Structure 1
Amino acid sequence: MSIAGYNNLTNRDNLFNQTDLIARFATGPVRHILLAGMELGRQETTNLRQTAYFQGANGAFTETSVNTPLSQTRIGRPIQWRQAATDASNTGTNHVVSLYLQDQIELLPQLQLIAGLRWDHIDAEITNRRTGERLSATDNNISPRVGLVYRPIDPVSLYASYSVSFLQRELPAALGRAAGLAERDEPGAQAGILHQLRDRRTLGDPSAPDRDGGDLSVGADQCRGHQSG
């Protein structure tokens, strides 16, 4: 059996600010809870990959793999960590500006309609520290969501929703932009029953705003079922 090793270190520093404004009002018999917000963020990423070089019989650290029988998978060979020719060394920065708006509309005492939009603007820059190559990418996306919540009795909610989630490219992947790597839109739908045992605004309550842009769907998941909170 051949054994090799590598060390892939990634450091990220994040600074984000999120501000929400909530207004409650009525248009005739219809009551609204309007949520508007803005998110500002900056993410700095440093990535360094190193290969394990094993000490050979001559004392030099030149071997990138060693062979050992399956009965002796624990080895005690000195190792030096350094970069091979294809190991990555990158730095990158993400700047994020997001705006979102959601209206929670009480059509009937037991029936709510939730509709919202989120706009994301992301500037990504990455530098290959080994070659000095610099690349940048700008992503703009609008993510819609809509859902219905029906409460036949107070602790039980029936819900259905549809949303589109924006999956941003990761900074290291931006080096492959020429190969067609890009952001993706992932549609998602959910329907189910929520049984609440405690406070109405518990985790998973479909009427509670999700600051990631969608509280009833995650990625492209489609599910039907029961939740208790």
Structure 2
Amino acid sequence: MPTGVSANAMLNLQPWTRPVETVTTNIGLRFQYAFNDDWNATLSANQHAFKRDDYTAFPYGCSGQDLYPGFCGNGDYDVYDYRSLGETKKPLSAQAMIEGKFATGSLRHAFTAGVSTFRRKDRAGLYVYDWVGVSNIYQPQIVGTSPGVTGPVRLVRKDTENSVFVQDIISLTPNWKLHGGLRHVDVDGYQYVLKADTEIRAKHDFLLPNVSLVYTPLDNVSVYAAYSQGMEHGGTADRKAMNANEELTPSRSKQIELGVKMDVTPDFMLAASLFQIRKGLEFQNAARYFVREGQAQHRGLELSAQGKAGRDLNLGVSLTALNSQQSGTGNADLDGKRVPNVPALKAAVHADYAVQQVAGLSVNGSWEYAGKKAFEYNNTTFVPSYHVFNLGAAYATRIAGTRAVLRAAVNNVADKFYWRDVTPESDGYLYPGASRTFKVSAQFDF
């Protein structure tokens, strides 16, 4: 493996590549109506649209030494012409909900009921992914493009999810509250797998309960225990899997949590919780099929503090310790190992200070930490931990009689290089965090 090469080196820099061209739009509407002091209704909807054209010189492998992934001993690597054009996604969500308060005998209720729908349409065409030559990490080479052409864009995915839900918070006594809810989800899915030229249709339904019990021994202290189930959308097999581009069916996740919250002052809160989340483990097995087998379990402790820590200081602190584990796959190389891309420790601190000497001025800073993470399901490789520091300021004023907030920020002040996220899919990807970034913005309230 070649050494001494900066992680900032652009291995896909070819004259025929272009930046990924992305266009997005988002429109949201919300209407709320109060029938009286105790009952109200809410209608909301959101339409998102996304379009992307991708032209990339994709560096991958060393055919001369049959290394996939990898580099040749002299720094050579294969270059592929990757083009995916006209990909679009259009998710639409809408919800109608009614909320109210009433009593049945000595029990007081805070009741919520509603219906929601989510509709998604994805379009795409056959992409080009062709070998076009060899470059070198020490002496980059210009290579040509593929004569291949992308296929016509067509509907490749259509999902419809309809839900009905109810939730009730029952005040049993002045110190005890019971939260209970139920959601029924109907999922109607359609896939067209481009490479296989096959259609997949599937319908599923889920009944998802949630329940929690809250005890308030003091006015400013609450202790709770909670159990809930959720629906997890299935992942999509990558292009190298035998079932490439197929999406797995939805599945069920289960979570339990024990916690305590304390209002130290009316404006400052401390919280601690123990939790466990279990869901299906998705990975590419030895037969090169993308499957859901066994489970991924996350057990953790979360500590947090948030609120006004002084007259001019707002503070947010969080610390999460996680034990993640794979089990039930029947593969000794996977069972008992850590789940990829999950750090054992995460921490963050955010502070915002109002400068009294200058009316409307505040300064802020934050620190983020993530521990090392497993790169593959068998935990052969780990990516290192990282720290990131950010600084910023905001100034609230009036411009031409209009309220305005001017903001400036420097993210990743130390310009530290780090791997923000990783995935073992398609032989593995590393996603670098953003380098030092300067941001300015203005907000006007009319």
TM-score between the two structures when normalised by the length of structure 1: 0.69
Distance 2:103 2:300 in 1: 33
Q: Is 2:97 the partner of 1:31?
A: no
**Correspondence for 1:15:** 92
**Correspondence for 1:42:** 119
**Correspondence for 2:300:** 223
Distance 1:83 1:160 in 2: 57
Work out which of the residue numbers 63, 67, 76 in structure 1 matches 2:134.
67
Q: Residue 185 and residue 78 in structure 1: after superposition, are their counterparts in 2 closer, same or farther (change >3 A)?
A: same
Give the match's secondary structure for 2:181: strand
Q: Residue 29 and residue 18 in structure 1: after superposition, are their counterparts in 2 closer, same or farther (change >3 A)?
A: same
Distance 1:124 1:82 in 2: 31
**Correspondence for 1:97:** 162
**Correspondence for 1:159:** 224
Residues 89 and 130 in structure 1, CA contact (< 8 A), matched pair in contact too:
no
Q: 1:129 Cα shift?
A: 5.1
**Correspondence for 1:168:** 233
Q: Is 2:253 the partner of 1:186?
A: yes
Distance 2:97 2:123 in 1: 31
Unpaired runs of at least 5, structure 1? 54-63, 205-215
Distance 1:110 1:222 in 2: 29
Distance 1:140 1:28 in 2: 36
Distance 2:203 2:261 in 1: 39
**Correspondence for 2:55:** none
Q: Residue 170 and residue 70 in structure 1: after superposition, are their counterparts in 2 closer, same or farther (change >3 A)?
A: closer
Q: Residue 166 and residue 191 in structure 1: after superposition, are their counterparts in 2 closer, same or farther (change >3 A)?
A: same
Residues 105 and 113 in structure 1, CA contact (< 8 A), matched pair in contact too:
yes
Distance 1:167 1:156 in 2: 33
CA RMSD after TM alignment: 3.9
**Correspondence for 1:144:** 209
Q: Residue 189 and residue 30 in structure 1: after superposition, are their counterparts in 2 closer, same or farther (change >3 A)?
A: same
Work out which of the residue numbers 75, 78, 91 in structure 2 matches 1:3.
78
Q: 1:134 Cα shift?
A: 2.3
Distance 2:144 2:254 in 1: 50
- Percent identical among aligned pairs is 21
Q: Residue 181 and residue 44 in structure 1: after superposition, are their counterparts in 2 closer, same or farther (change >3 A)?
A: closer
- Which stretch has the larger CA shift, 74-83 or 138-147? 74-83
**Correspondence for 1:57:** none
**Correspondence for 1:211:** none
Unpaired runs of at least 5, structure 2? 1-70, 72-76, 280-297, 307-446
Distance 1:7 1:194 in 2: 51
Q: Is 2:191 the partner of 1:126?
A: yes
Q: Residue 17 and residue 84 in structure 1: after superposition, are their counterparts in 2 closer, same or farther (change >3 A)?
A: closer
Distance 1:11 1:199 in 2: 45
**Correspondence for 2:310:** none
Q: Residue 28 and residue 142 in structure 1: after superposition, are their counterparts in 2 closer, same or farther (change >3 A)?
A: same
